[in-house]
Amino acid sequence: MKRTGYGRRRVLVTGGAGFLGSHLIDRLLERGDEVLCVDNLFTGDKSNIDHLVGNPRFEFMRHDVCFPLFVEVDAIFNLACPASPIHYQHDPVQTTKTSVHGAINMLGLAKRLGVPIFQASTSEVYGDPAVHPQVESYWGNVNPIGIRSCYDEGKRCAETLFFDYHRQHGLDVKVARIFNTYGPRMHIADGRVVSNLIVQALKGEDLTIYGDGSQTRSFCYCDDLIEAFLLFMDSGPGTHGPINIGNPIEFTIRQLAETIIAKVGGTTKLVQLPLPQDDPLQRKPDISMARQKLGWEPKIELDQGLDRTIAYFKQKIAE
C-alpha cells in the first residue's frame, strides 16, 4: 500500500463501529496508521470506539456507504453490512443495497485513488453447502429467494463486482470469506449463536438451540481474524482471493451450548426449537489457501476465546 508522509497510511474502515471493524481499527492505530472510521450506526455502536475519542490519528464520520463518499485515503477495508440474521432480515432491501451499492461506491473510490481495497465477504456465499469442508473453488448452494438471500446473494454480487473491477480496471482487490467469528464487542442482541447462548446462560435462562443441535460450526476468535485481515491487505498486488478466513476446528451447536453451561454454571438446560429456513447444517472452512498465501492459521482455542467473551458479556449485562 502506498504511504503518506513519515511512512504513515491513512486507512478507511467502513462499518468501523461494528464488532470486527472496531477491533480492526484498534490494530491499525496500534501499528501507527491514521484511520477514518465510517459507519451509519445501523448495527454499529459508538461505544465500540468511545475509547478512541481524542486519538489524533482517529476520525469518525457518520455516513451510509449506499451513497458516494469522497475522501483521500491510502487503503480501504469495506466491512459495512449487517451480519447477523436478526439485523440483516430486519430490512432485507437495505441489506442488499448496502452490499451492492456499498461495493460499487467503495470500488469507485478505490479506482479513483488507485488504492487497494479489502472486502469482508462471508461463508454465507456457500449457502447450505454440499461440499464439506468448504473450499474457495466451490460455487455454493444458495437459495436466491429465501429469507437469508438478501445477505447471501448481496455478498455474492459484491464479490462479482470486486473481481470485475479487478479484471476491467486492474484494481488491487482482496476478498476474504469470513466464517463464524466471536469475541468481545459482539452485539448483545444480534441473534448469533455464541452471543445468544452466553447471554442466556449469564441471565440464568434456558439455552435455545435449533433442531437437535447436531448442526456444526467452526468458531474463530476475533483477534485471529483481524490478524488475517492485515496479512491479506499487506500481501501485495498478486494476491486477491477469495480466501477463506476462519477456524477449521468443527463443533456441534450442542457441544458449544454444553461448554458454555459448564463455564457459566447454574441450573440452565437446553431447549430445542425448529430449525430456521435455509440454516446451514454444516459450516467448516478449508484454510489451505490462507496457510499458503498468508502464512496464517488461528491460534486462540475456543476454550480461551469463550472465557474472554463471557467476561465481556458479564460486564455488559452488569452495566
Residues 6+ apart with CB under 8 A from 259: 302, 303, 306
- Bridge partners, 255 (sequence order): none
> Are 102 and 66 within 8 A, CB to CB?
yes
Residues catalogued as catalytic: 151
Neighbour count for residue 206 (Cβ, 10 Å): 12
What CA–CA distance (Å, rounded) separates 300 from 201?
A: 22
207-210 and 117-122 beta bridge pairing = unpaired
> Are 197 and 260 within 8 A, CB to CB?
yes
Phi, psi of 99 (to 5 degrees): -65, -45
What CA–CA distance (Å, rounded) separates 91 from 135?
A: 30
